[in-house]
Amino acid sequence: MSEVRIPAFAKINLRLDILGKRADGFHELRTIFQTISVHDELRLRTSRRPAITLTVEGNQPLSAEPVEKNLVYRAVDALQRELRIRGGVEIELSKAIPAGRGLGGGSSDAAAALRGYLRLAKKTLSAARLMEICSSLGADVPFFLFGGRALGVNKGDEIYPLPDIPKLHVLVVSPKKIHVSTPDAYRWVKARPVGLTKFAGTSKLFEFCALCWSGPGSGLSNDFEGAVFRRHPRLDQIKRELLQKGAAGASLAGSGSAVFGVFPSPATARRAAVGFPHDQTFVCETVSRERYARLMRIAE
């Protein structure tokens, strides 16, 4: 029986700008994705049964969903249809990335499932077609095909690699009792149509372009913070506490509810983590694109 093991890494957004709401109902984004070392793990095995079976252990969503709606299941199902494969596959997903915290766990799992299943089936697919499948699964999924540091535009699904920055030491704080759904976060922001915010949007765009070329010392920013913090003041408090405990910068992760801080060393991050005894914490580091590719290849 053939088997493949592959990690699925989390992400943070070093910058997330919402330029406005588009005519198609989606939001026009500019974001800088960054892989971090917190990760789930997938194990894929061939099966004699002509079906996809998926079991999930560890950090899971508050409400269970049918297995057919899980992004890992949908990713493998889409790939089997694309490649016209009928053979069965057993998938075990071990979750470490908390769900619904803005860390991209589900999207990363989907991208890892695609890469893992291609390896298991000993098949190849063009990068362009693989990106199309990823985009059909979710806006964040294409980023996780390559990882590292990257620019996301449009809905966040159009990805351009950016130069990697020196390793950053990160403390992620995931409050156990606060969940923020992405649709709710977008409603709270109340972004205006893109065409009506041309001047402001253009100003933000120039600022964002400058940031893409800046060094690691550039400030963190997330347009979700104002609306999300108003509804969940505890998240604003976590951010302020991270800064008080020595973080050089702190920000909401995606649309939340996790908050992260960037620290000068792993030791200072670990000391800061002690101050959040009632929350789930992860002391981790950023992962470069080269290291991401290496880890994805050797994790079999």
Q: What percent of the chain has pLDDT over 90?
A: 69
Considering 124, 148, 163, which residue would you say is the last residue of a domain? Answer: 163
116 and 145 part of one domain: yes
147 and 14 part of one domain: yes
Mark whether 245 is an active-site residue.
no
Query: Which residue among 109, 140, 157, 223 is the active-site one?
Result: 140
| Measured distance CA(228)–CA(16) in Å, rounded | 14
C-alpha angle with apex 254: 181 to 31, nearest 5 degrees? Answer: 135
Nearest residue to 54 via CA among 80, 92, 81: 92
More confident residue, 207 or 291: 291
Considering 140, 163, 186, which residue would you say is the last residue of a domain? Answer: 163
- Cite the DSSP H helix spans in 213-288: 225-231, 233-244, 266-273
Check which CATH number belongs to the domain holding 50 and give it.
3.30.230.10
Average pLDDT, the chain: 88
Number of domains forming the structure of the chain: 2
Which tokens hold the place of 51?
Answer: 């079906």
CA 155 centroid distance within chain: 14
61 band by pLDDT with thresholds 50, 70 and 90: low
| Measured distance CA(258)–CA(103) in Å, rounded | 7
Q: What is the pLDDT of residues 236-263, one digit of tens each?
A: 999 999 999 999 999 999 998 999 999 9
Check which CATH number belongs to the domain holding 189 and give it.
3.30.70.890
128 and 178 part of one domain: no
119 and 231 part of one domain: no
Considering 107, 139, 163, which residue would you say is the last residue of a domain? Answer: 163
HSE, side-chain direction, 13 A CA sphere, residue 226: 10
Beta bridge partners of 281: 173
Give the pLDDT of residue 196: 47
Q: What is the pLDDT of residues 160-214, one digit of tens each?
A: 999 999 999 999 999 988 999 888 998 898 767 765 444 445 555 556 565 555 5
Query: Which residue among 11, 95, 204, 239 is the active-site one?
Result: 11
151 and 131 part of one domain: yes
Give the pLDDT of residue 28: 83
Q: What is the pLDDT of residues 67-103, one digit of tens each?
A: 888 999 999 999 999 999 988 999 999 999 998 899 9
8 and 143 part of one domain: yes
Mark whether 167 is an active-site residue.
no
In this structure, what are the phi and psi dihedrals at residue 115, rounded to the nearest 5 degrees?
-65, -40
Question: Does position 52 have pLDDT exceeding 80, yes or no?
Answer: yes
9 and 115 part of one domain: yes
Residue span of the structural domain in which 207 resides: 169-285
Q: What is the pLDDT of residues 262-288, one digit of tens each?
A: 999 999 999 999 999 999 999 999 999
Nearest residue to 27 via CA among 36, 17, 40: 17
104 band by pLDDT with thresholds 50, 70 and 90: very high
172, 34 contact by CB (below 8 A): no
